[in-house]
Structure 1
């Protein structure tokens, strides 16, 4: 044991230099090491809600695995589908960001409803809304309850917004009839 102590004391400066170098190497390695990443599909440019996605709208980006969202999709899953809501350039595509209006679920159809642009700014795909028909006299009647919003698209030229909502076929007929005679409003409801 004494021989080890003497050896350490005799070479303490060399040992200190070696340990310092090892610490510096470990720190540099920790800082410069590339994180584990994964390539994801992103919007190549800003996309408006309801726009049909084509190959020119798609790009890729590498992100840390810890930042990868659930529901990733491939280019073939996205092309030809509609953007559920507005997307910024660089935003990651997931299964919730695109919809196929022909695939709204068994026993449901896609109804298209015009609402005020202010209402649409508050809505996101997946929200549940009641659709209320408001007549010229101010009377209001609920024409659809707890329908799911599939797409949201603003139409600045007409100063309206267009919602795609999934409804039962009979409800779609009622909504279409009401939209011809009344102004429709969407009221967000809690999902049960």
Structure 2
């Protein structure tokens, strides 16, 4: 269910990106993806050029990491790209996924789907114009204890209803 994408046969960065993009397209472009009855919309997202390929900006955000102000390919993120849809399909398995909302500094309320035993998170935001659509903000592998503790605190605060801005905020 949560196997890593194998890049061992890829001889260059472009092949790795292309392999990850194949998974992304299969999960989100060539077939519709839902989180229960919420359509996950990525088609309206801006496209950018990476390694001679035109890809959705959100795809690049998912498989890359900021380093000195510039996004660079991150194998730990890229090899988990197939986990995103698997999390959507298993969101209600509380032994796997901790689901919580968080009020961001931008004023947006986002839905976090945290595959906590595997240190991986997917963050969604509702599309304001539709009650049944959301988009992927990002997803990433949690590779440090400080970040993991931050997610645990957000989860506990949500469950305990410590942030009054989140009361009755659930859109999923």
TM-score (norm 2): 0.29
Please identify the structure whose Cα radius of gyration is greater: 1
* TM, length-normalised to structure 1: 0.27
